[in-house]
Amino acid sequence: METFEEHYAGLQEALRKYAPGTDMAIIDQAVEYANAKHKYQKRKDGSPYIIHPLAVAQIVTEMGLDSDAVLGALLHDCIEDTDASHEEIARLFGDTVAELVEGVTKLTRANFSTSEQAQMENLRKMFMAMSKDIRVVLIKIADRLHNMRTMQYQSPEKQISKCRETMDIYAPLAHRLGMQRIKWELEDLSLRYLAPERHNEIMSYLKEHEEQDEAFMRTIQNKITDRLTRMGIQATVYGRIKHVYSIYRKMQSQGKTLDELYDLYAFRVIVDSIPDCYNVLGHIHDLFNLVPGRFKDYISTPKPNMYQSLHTTVIGSQGIPFEVQIRTWEMHETAEYGIAAHWKYKQGTGAGSEKDFEWVRRLLESQQDSDAEEYVQSLKIDMFDDEVFVFTPKGRIVSLPSGSTPIDFAYAIHSGVGNAMVGAKVNNRIANIDTTLTNGDIVEILTSKNAKGPSRDWLTICKSNQARTKIKQWFKKEKREENVVHGRASFESEMKRMGLPMSAITDPALEPHLLKKLSFDNWEDMYAAIGYGGLTAVKAVGRIRDDVTKSVKAEKTPVPLKLNPDGEAVKQNRHAVNGVIVEDIDSCMIKFARCCTPVPGDAIVGFITKGFGVSIHRVDCPNAQNRTDPKQAARWVRVRWANQDDHPFDTTLELDCITRDGLLLDVATTMTAAHVRVKELVGKDLPGGKSMFTVRFEVKDVAELDFIRNKLMNIRDVIGSRRGQN
């Protein structure tokens, strides 16, 4: 059993060595505090719990982190396991320490184990994203390292799950952060539980060959040292056997037995300067036979995780190949401690952790794997702020745009879940559905068969396009009638706001054109679309605004009747006959003059005929030009169109054309396509290759007439048109 004293002494020694300026009083206070808090807890092996935080603090110290991080490590399990609170820790040890502890606690609570390989990358991303301060990650890695070192006391199930998690999350992270030593140790410890037979095989092989290996390494080491000493190069040289997991991986990937394995040995030469690195390289190549194609210069081209060294593989006199890594002390520190080493160098500059975090982010962003062998397990960690990672109650991880709410979460799970949502729990507490989710939250959606479905407000609350699209789909499908009402209301109010008359959109001359512009078959569909949010009223009106404005102006252009320039309003109780109201005459026969075939919308006047009631002419009809003639004036009456759209009127158009075969057919087709009832269509040839068509047909009003006239004018070889006069 390990003792408190041993570990405490270990920490103090590490502090003296790596952080000599540390205020020991505050460290003692934290140890005392943590010890008091954890006093009713024991480690699985029966030793006092405080040993664990002490050991973690020692690892953190050895990484080269600052005293806040060491305090954070000492207190890292206090919030999770004891009655200690953030406030209390902040009061006693400062806000930074409290936040570090809080950060570690969040990572501890999150479940990073999953059987889904596909989730791995998200997990690692979340791990990084949750750790607002890189020191949190480092403390958590140290925590895991100590737990791995003492894994023998855990149940077999726990061993397996923790080791998997270590291989999936912690070792790759350590690698990414450049902490090779910790990565190796985590891998070797995991292998022991994940593949115990292979691990034992390798261990016993190494044990068996220990003496032999050591003798070999001593020989090589001496040979190199002798040469460098003679040349006056200050260097530290040592040999090592590659770590167990990397041997295991070589066996797996190359399908070889231990005896067949190539280069198990690696030597390091650590010197004071970069020029010395290259000098040493020359001497190594002079002393041994180099294996071609294995030289790598990571000094001039550092690895993405900052690693720098010269690598070369050579063969010694006994025919055994080995790798030599040549680097400076600074490169060595970086290689061993990675990000932490960098952190240590920066400490003196007083750089804030925020900036450090930026630095890590840039480091991770810039990483592009180039060295396939080293980077087999490479992973990409995005620490972009635009993603948030949360869990389902079953531990599945869901990635959402940052700022997302339970609504987004629900629709990310399934549209059925979103549509049946009646509430949500975040971290087991009832939460508002507009709660902003944070990394690591466990989100549960409460659903009901009787749910009324999403509310329109959700469209503005949710952050993800996925949710928005699905909510819109629901409205589109489920609530058509309601959508039409909502949509019409907002469309009408927007039309009003823009000063456009609603009547314009049902104007037959305009309607098909407007609907085409809006890409709808009818207005109800468009209202429905506005209602469910597929289209905004502002956009819809914006698209047709110009056309409506133009047509409204055009309608106003015809001069009002000369005979009733500004006359009093026609009495409302007049009866319309054939769609025309004759002023001052309540009920009379009406007929439309054959000469000018007026249609609703035309400015018209009435002529009291002898015995045939009132004949209606267009104001511009030549036969109506004698209105001012005193002899006739009394027979001309003011008339106007009643608002009866359903009554069709005959009208005639004359088309001037250039004669061509098929033109008649074109005209007929155009009329049919416009759904016009044609009553007469005749053509006659004129001199000079010209011809004239006369078309008599039914229209509702002048707007429709103009619409058809336009269509006809668009026919090739139709060069002019006029209203029929005969």
Least distance (Å) from Mn ion to the CB of residue 149?
12
- From the candidates 81, 272, 387, 525, which is the catalytic residue? 81
Pick between residue 27 and residue 655 the one whose CB is nearest to Mn ion: 27
Least distance (Å) from Mn ion to the CB of residue 129?
21
- Residue 678, SS3 per DSSP: strand
Please name the amino acid found at residue 639.
V
Range 549-555, long-range pairs (CB < 8 A, 24+ positions): 549/500, 551/504, 551/507, 551/509, 551/510, 551/703, 552/500, 552/501, 552/504, 554/706, 555/601, 555/703
Tokens of 253: 């990937």
Q: Give CA torsion, residues 36, 40, 46, 49, to 10 deg.
A: -40
**Residues whose CB is less than 8 angstroms from the CB of residue 615 and which lie 6 or more positions away in sequence, other chains included:** 591, 592, 593, 606, 607, 609
CA distance 543 to 384: 38
CA distance 275 to 287: 19
CA distance 88 to 95: 10
Least distance (Å) from Mn ion to the CB of residue 56?
6
Could you identify the residue written with the tokens 């002899």? 631
Pick between residue 165 and residue 507 the one whose CB is nearest to Mn ion: 165
Pick between residue 43 and residue 513 the one whose CB is nearest to Mn ion: 43
3-state secondary structure 189-224: HHHHHHCHHHHHHHHHHHHHCHHHHHHHHHHHHHHH
Least distance (Å) from Mn ion to the CB of residue 53?
7
Least distance (Å) from Mn ion to the CB of residue 453?
46
- DSSP labels, 232-298: T--EEEEEEEPPHHHHHHHHHHHT--GGG----EEEEEEESSHHHHHHHHHHHHHHSEEPTT--EET
81 given a catalytic annotation: yes
CA distance 498 to 298: 68
β-strand 296-297 against 690-699: which pairing, if any? unpaired
Tokens of 186: 């985590």
Contact 128, 181 (CB under 8 A): no
Least distance (Å) from Mn ion to the CB of residue 52?
6
CA distance 245 to 339: 22
330 given a catalytic annotation: no
Contacts with Mn ion, residue ranges (CB under 5 A) = 77, 143
Least distance (Å) from Mn ion to the CB of residue 69?
14
Pick between residue 66 and residue 143 the one whose CB is nearest to Mn ion: 143
Angle between helices 702-713 and 663-673 (to 10 degrees): 140
Q: Give CA torsion, residues 593, 598, 599, 600, to 10 deg.
A: -100
Pick between residue 51 and residue 593 the one whose CB is nearest to Mn ion: 51
For Mn ion, the nearest residue by Cβ is: 143
Pick between residue 77 and residue 185 the one whose CB is nearest to Mn ion: 77
Pick between residue 109 and residue 497 the one whose CB is nearest to Mn ion: 109
> Could you give the C-alpha distances from 97 to 46, 75, 107, in angstroms and in order?
29, 9, 16
Pick between residue 144 and residue 463 the one whose CB is nearest to Mn ion: 144
CA distance 4 to 47: 8
Least distance (Å) from Mn ion to the CB of residue 137?
14
For residue 680, the cross-strand partners are 696
Least distance (Å) from Mn ion to the CB of residue 147?
7
Pick between residue 143 and residue 602 the one whose CB is nearest to Mn ion: 143
- From the candidates 80, 524, 547, 698, which is the catalytic residue? 80
Catalytic residues: 80-81
